[in-house]
Homo-oligomer: A and B are copies of this chain.
Amino acid sequence: MAGKAVSAPRGPYKTGVRRREQIVQAALTVFGEQGFAGGSIRTIAERVGVSHATLLQHFGSKEGLLTAVLEEWDRQTVETGLSGVEGLEYFRRLPLVMSAHLANPGLLELFITMAAEASNPAHPAHTFIRHRYDRNLTILAGHLRQAADAGETTSLAPAQIDMEVRIVTAVLDGIGLQWLNDPSTDIVQAVATFMDRTIADWSRH
């Protein structure tokens, strides 16, 4: 929606939008390589060629930049392997999504660290993380509802669908956290094993 509203900006405003995009892309690279602890605003500002102060002006705060980075990460994740995918196929693609995350371990670390810290309602990213959970659960529930309505699965009540998508989300987050601490964790195979079993159970009439 933001993309539509700024589809033909001109002058200083257009420059600002472009600069903001540059900063988000640089931040994606820096955090992707160096993670939450290693990535610094100063490094990002240097890459884009702006001052620390100018960079923060675009986002209000470090948390503002971090949430912009996570939003862009989410957008790219959907583009990577989930765009236009519907019903059960959406769930079958989740191992591929984890596979894409392996290319950017720092972004996975950024999300998990923020999600843990932001559970404190006083944290500046609390509302963002809470909304991100809500949005992702709604998307997953929509696909499972679609699968059930199309007869791809057994009949599922709304409360069951809600529970199922929470479990799927738990596996994706939890296996990511485990992998951050133990890189020998095969997160693609873990998600594939879990999803295959879960889909088989959903489909059992």
Contacts and interface: CB of A to CB of B under 8 A. Distances in A.
Contact of A193 (B167, B169, B186): B167
A28 to B, nearest CB: 19
A190 B177 contact: no
B167 A194 contact: yes
A143 B48 CA distance: 53
A69 interface: no
B119 A109 contact: yes
Contacts of A178: 133, 166, 169-170, 173
A116 B175 contact: no
A173 B115 CA distance: 12
Interface of A: 35-38, 109, 112-113, 115-120, 122-123, 126, 129-130, 133-134, 163-164, 166-167, 169-175, 177-178, 180-182, 185-186, 189-190, 193-194, 197-198, 200-201
Given A163-B186, A190-B167, A194-B167, A180 B37 contact: no
A181 B129 contact: yes
A173 B193 CA distance: 18
A158 B173 CA distance: 24
Contacts of A189: 163
B181 A133 contact: yes
A104 to B, nearest CB: 14
A135 to B, nearest CB: 12
